[in-house]
Amino acid sequence: MTTITSTKKKKNNTRSRLLWKFSLLAALIFTSTSCFSQSEKSTVKIEENKSEAKVTGLKYICIHVLELEKTLKLYREILGFKMTKAEVLHGPGLEGMLVMKLKTNDLTIGLSLTAPEFIDTIGPIGNTNHNHFMLKVNDISTIGDKLKEEGYELENEHYARDKYTFFVGPNGEIIGLSAWD
């Protein structure tokens, strides 16, 4: 009788193990199928987002320079930026402004310095586009239209044609948008 009970227990254990393995296999198959269908949905969602008007990256940051020597020491000697370009701009509100482009890897910083004889033409620093960051966008027309609908004033009304504009954010930050590559 002991032998029969022992054999019966072995059969039950074998059946239990097989049932457990089958259940585990079924759960794995169900989970992988579920994950596959979710990732397929995610792929579709990502492709849909590609057509939306949105920011695609940071183009550059522009800083109005108050102390040239200290600024160049910080960005070039300490932070490792390299000067790639320097030019004097001309035009309303920009007359005599020196703009220096500094670059490291894929980040560009523009340093702007107004010529002393024109310092009174630019107005207070907070009211100019000297201190700003420029965002890359994939569809400036749509984004510009949305900003105008929300009551933001765009500095360049021809933003669709010119592929850039500036506006003041809700915290006083000056934000530039550029569709240039």
Question: Which one of 11-20, 30-39, 122-131, 144-153 scores highest in mean pLDDT?
Answer: 144-153
Q: What is the mean pLDDT of residues 71-92?
A: 89
- Average pLDDT of the chain is 75
Please determine, for residue 27, whether its predicted confidence score (pLDDT) is greater than 60. Answer: no
Task: Output the CA–CA distances (angstroms, integers) from residue 2 to 55, 68, 116, 133, in the order listed.
Answer: 77, 97, 107, 85
The pLDDT assigned to 49 comes to 52
* Residue-range domain boundaries for the chain: 1-49, 55-178
* pLDDT tier for residue 115 given thresholds of 50, 70 and 90: confident
Higher pLDDT, 65 or 51: 65
d(CA 45, CA 120) in angstroms, rounded, equals 52
* The model's pTM: 0.57
* pLDDT tier for residue 17 given thresholds of 50, 70 and 90: low
55-178 placed in CATH 3.30.420.10: no
Q: What is the mean pLDDT of residues 150-178?
A: 91
The pLDDT assigned to 10 comes to 55
The pLDDT assigned to 98 comes to 87
Structural element, H or E, at residue 24: helix 2-49
The pLDDT assigned to 142 comes to 94
Contact 179, 134 (CB under 8 A): no
d(CA 10, CA 176) in angstroms, rounded, equals 76
The pLDDT assigned to 138 comes to 94
